[in-house]
Structure 1
Amino acid sequence: MTPEQNALITRSGPDTSLGKLLRRYWQPIALVEELEGARPAKAVRVLGQDMVLFRDEAGRLGLLDRDCPHRNADLAFGRLEGGGLRCLFHGWLFDVNGNCIETPGEPAGSKLCTRIHQRAYPVVEKSGMVFGYLGEGEAPAFPDLDCFIAPDSHVFAFKGYLDCNWLQALEVGIDPAHASFLHRFFEDEDAAGSYGRQFRAQSADSDMTMTQVLREYENPDISVEKTDIGLRLTSLRALNTGDTHVRVTNLLFPQAFVIPLSEMMTITQWHVPIDDVSCYWYAAFTGFAEPVNKEEMRRQRLQLYTLPDYKPRLGRHNDYGYDVVEQRSRTYTGMGEDINVHDQWAVESQGRIQDRTREHLGTTDKAIVAYRMMLMSQMRKSDQGETPLLVLDAAAAAGVTGPATVDGVAKAGEDIQVYWQRTDARRRAQAPWTAPVKASA
């Protein structure tokens, strides 16, 4: 990859091809829980833009540019009163639509406020997250993906900070081979205690945990195909019993992936640039049969992340908790058992913006190659005024469902596609809220 190509797919400012593309999609910008408490307002930085997100006294959400249009003071410190957000400098008041509704320091009868408007962005709550639309024109419709149509009781949302460019953070999630090494545990645990923990649950139709499969069978046969949401990745591992371990994951264009956490729970995870050298991941954990135990899921994650910034306790500053004794006997990395730390080390150690001119890709990187080609193709379409993938109207969005994502074991001789489709359908049959995946997905 040339330096120019690397810059093209990593730089997300408003005047870049990538930035213009990403602004055509809804972006997660905060967790709903971040607006709870005494003052429901916070500064947010997304795609290099500084904004303030707030909830007014009527419960409406607003997302405004952060600098007051009077003399550019910081609206993120504003007072929530009078039906909007009031600047501390001179008391100018703005509603959720960016309308200036008061300029109290001006002479009586002044019409100045009628000529003032702060840029406001569409914003919506969905699946425990707040999404903002930073683009021009009408915002696209949300597809009927599992994480969006599941009731609140069946979705838990969380996020975490990464000190690197968004793209390398995303690419680790579409790399099926790395889990056999980076997330290898030398000791197995009782799968009954695996709730909320990645790779510790049993694979479907098997008494083997995902960890055991990944450790003992480290050479997956990976295939990649285009779908109506992006890419489907199928990783097959031939077991010594003659059966086949099947793992189906998805790239959700432009910047998310969908993977199984367990037989009855999936993860949809976005990677959102704060700027070009840092990002947040936002994850929606979707339960199919039982409601998600949000208290336990949150407790587990707060062992690693600190509030209010959701920054990890481990990182460059303390060598990610690396322990040489642990690396010899317990984990492949020596960095504890939380796979988020493993991934964090992998992507942050590449530098704040990975220099892809120095990498040497192998056969197992075929999904990464396919995604980069898709990303550049969709940027060209967007630059030419065409509609890129998954920028949908309401009718089209209703036809995009699922996606199917599976980790299980097919019996010897069984058709692999029939197996994962049946396994996905079985899971959906146990869910009180879901509908079958459309054939196109």
Structure 2
Amino acid sequence: MITAEQNDRLTRVGPGTPGGAVLRHYWQPIALADEVAGERPIRPVRALGQNFVLFRDEAGNLGLLDRDCPHRNADLAFGRLEDGGLRCPFHGWLFDTKGTCLDTPAEPEGSTLCQRIRQKSYPVVERSGVIFAWLGDMEPAPFPAFDCFAAPDTHTFAFKGLIECNWLQALEVGIDPAHASFLHRFFEDGDEAEAYGKQFRATSDGSDLPMTYVLREFPRPRIEVENTDHGLRVYALREINEKTTHVRVTNSFFPTAFVIPMSAEMTITQWHMPVDDENCYWVAIFTSFAGPVDRAQMRAQRLDSYSLPDYLPKKNATNDYGFDPHEQAHSTYTGMGEDINVHDQWAVESQGRIQDRTREHLASTDKAIAANRRLLLRAMAAIEEGRRPPLMQGEATGALTGPSTIDCMAPAETWEAHWKQAVARRRGAAPWAPPALAAE
């Protein structure tokens, strides 16, 4: 049973909180590269309860600064890109991407004030269409050689969407394999030719059964969880018959992400980036192991559900998530359309802005959720004892590959070997040569 104090530790993300201290030891996906493109590449960013301004200077360099100008705290998100940096419109103070003050033009000739001023800046890295920031004070950890980072740009696509609740309850949907048989149930399987870019609509590796059928007809998976160097590996095993087992292998990417299969050819690596205690963005990189990603189609599909520039969901609590009782009776389990992001959004937002875990009753299918909470609490304890938290830390992190994720049909007696062979076959056929997997 989670206590109110433990729930508070797990969910609070601001400066000085135990949870916030953990999250500042890991890279955070603060924006899409698309958000700092175009005529004015400046974007206000709120992450971990703090306000920043992200910009790309005239030379194309990325910078992330505290959002309030150090002169009199005006909003730098309204700044001007000129003269090698970002200039505050209030008095013209100019800062480069590292926070160095380049100019204080209203000061008298010969003033040395500028030399004594510095705006706090943060390391940023652009990977696969996503801009990651290191918001802690310690040396940034290396990026792992995960597939979503190793694949060429032609074989990845990035998108995001706002969820109006705490990041942890949003993440916990992704490491809960049992919910898909209900929350994402479709009463008809649909045409596989129209499955591109849609989760749970295609067939699994080695099967002609669509995932919608497997999830609908076999709703009692056996869940197994194991610890890994990147977090957790989660197995959902559905017995099709005495000889065949459907195997779904997913991963947590500690502390805020998971890696799951989307289809036989594509995977999803998805973070839940805390905006503050009560809001988060899901940020996903879709990675193809076959042909190049059809970005135009993937983007159009998602813009049906999200509005720019803030990636706000068009279906939300104000319009009951598009709920249609006739649809619920005849075509989908939720009655909220076919976009599974909407289903997940309803599920986690309906728990409240911050879920009160003192009122929940975890079941046998919640093994991964319980294991992940223990990892978070141990990470907090490590920091409080003066140690770096476990997982995704140190030089060895840069050598991590994969992580392996797949949906496949397997012989019941040899499912453990079979899913690894299926992963190896897919990776071996990929046109961009994914990094070799470590022994698993």
TM-score (norm 1): 0.98
Query: After the TM superposition, which of the residue ranges 383-392 and 344-353 deviates more from structure 2?
Result: 383-392
Matches of 1:224 and 1:106 in 2, distance apart? 62
Which region of structure 1 is more displaced relative to structure 2, 57-66 or 431-440?
Answer: 431-440
One-letter amino acid of the counterpart of residue 54, structure 2:
L
Name 2:243's counterpart in structure 1: 242
Deviation of 1:342 (Å) = 0.4
Map 1:3-402; keep pairs closer than 5 Å: 3-240=4-241, 242-394=243-395, 396-402=396-402
Deviation per CA, 1:98-118: give whole Å up to 9, x if none.
011100000000000000000
- Contact 2:254–2:392 (8 Å) recurs in 1: no
Taking the aligned partners of 2:326 and 2:242, their CA distance within structure 1 comes to 34
CA contact (8 A) 2:145 2:435 kept: no
Instruction: Check the 8 A contact 2:307/2:313 in 1, yes or no.
Output: yes
Q: Runs of 4 or more off by more than 6 Å in structure 1?
A: none
Q: 1:356 to 1:322 in 2, by over 3 A?
A: same
* Inter-partner Cα distance in structure 2 for 1:241 and 1:230: 32
- Once residues 240 and 216 of structure 1 are traced to their aligned partners in structure 2, the CA distance between those partners, rounded to angstroms, is 12
Q: Which amino acid aligns with 1:35?
A: V
Deviates more, 1:420-429 or 1:384-393: 384-393
Q: Does 1:438 align with 2:412?
A: no
Whole-angstrom distance in 1 between the partners of 2:397 and 2:3? 36
Query: CA contact under 8 A between 2:33 and 2:126: conserved in structure 1?
Result: yes
Cα deviation for residue 399 of structure 1 reads: 2.2
Q: Secondary structure at the match of 2:301?
A: helix
Which residue number in structure 1 is paired with residue 425 of structure 2?
426
Amino acid at match of 1:435: P
What SS is found at the alignment partner of 1:52?
strand
Equivalent AA in structure 1 for residue 353 of structure 2: R
Q: Which amino acid aligns with 2:421?
A: R
Contact 1:253 1:389 in 2 (8 A): no
Distance 1:137 1:216 in 2: 49
Deviation at 1:437, TM superposition (A): 1.1
Show CA shifts across 1:284-312 (max 9, x none).
Answer: 00001211111110000000000000000
Alpha carbons 1:229, 1:389 under 8 Å: kept:
no
SS in structure 2 opposite 1:4? helix
Contact kept? 1:425, 1:436, Cα under 8 Å: no
User: What is the letter of the counterpart of residue 59 of structure 1?
Assistant: G
Q: Mean alpha-carbon deviation: is it higher for 185-194 or for 347-356?
A: 185-194
Q: One-letter code of the match for 2:107?
A: E
Structure 1 residues not aligned, in runs of 5+: none
Distance 1:95 1:163 in 2: 33
2:406 alignment partner in structure 1: 406
> Aligned AA for 2:393?
L
Question: C-alpha distance in 2, partners of 1:10/1:416?
Answer: 37
Separation in 2, partners of 1:374, 1:435: 27
Distance 1:328 1:107 in 2: 74
Match of 1:352, as an amino acid?
R
Greater mean alpha carbon deviation, residues 377-386 or residues 106-115: 377-386
2: CA distance, partners of 1:154 / 1:385? 41
Distance 1:393 1:221 in 2: 34
Alpha-carbon displacement from aligned partner over 1:296-354 (angstroms, at most 9, x marks no partner): 10000000000000000000000000000000010000000110110000000000000
Shift of 1:392: 2.9
CA distance in 1, matches of 2:393, 2:5: 30
CA–CA distance in 2 between the matches of 1:32 and 1:186? Answer: 38
1:44/1:51 contact within 8 Å kept: yes
AA aligned opposite 2:243: G
- How far does residue 412 in structure 1 lie from its aligned partner after superposition? 4.2
| Paired residue type of 1:420 | W
C-alpha distance in structure 1 between counterparts of 2:220 and 2:92, whole Å? 63
Query: Normalised by the size of structure 2, how large is the TM-score?
Result: 0.98
CA separation in 2, counterparts of 1:301 and 1:382? 39
Q: Which amino acid aligns with 1:177?
A: A
| Contact 1:14–1:20 (8 Å) recurs in 2 | yes
Deviations 1:28-65 (A, max 9, x none): 00000011111000100000010000000011000000
Mapped partners of 1:417, 1:399: distance in 2: 24
Deviations 1:51-88, CA, capped at 9 Å, x for gaps: 00000001100000000000000000000001000001
CA contact (8 A) 1:219 1:237 kept: yes
Q: Which runs of 5+ in 2 are unaligned?
A: none
- Is the 8 Å Cα contact of residues 230 and 392 (structure 2) preserved in structure 1? no
TM-aligned CA deviation for residue 154 of structure 1? 0.8
- For residues 143-187 of structure 1, the C-alpha deviation after alignment (integer angstroms, 9 at most, x for no partner) is 111101111111100000000000000000011100000000001
Secondary structure of the 2:388 match is coil
The whole-number CA distance in structure 1 between the counterparts of 2:338 and 2:101 is 51
Partner of 1:417: 416
DSSP 3-state at the match of 2:201: coil
In structure 2, the residue corresponding to 1:177 is in which secondary structure?
helix
Return closer, same or farther for 1:205/1:391 CA change in 2, 3 Å cut-off.
Answer: closer
Q: Which letter does structure 2 place at the counterpart of 1:181?
A: F
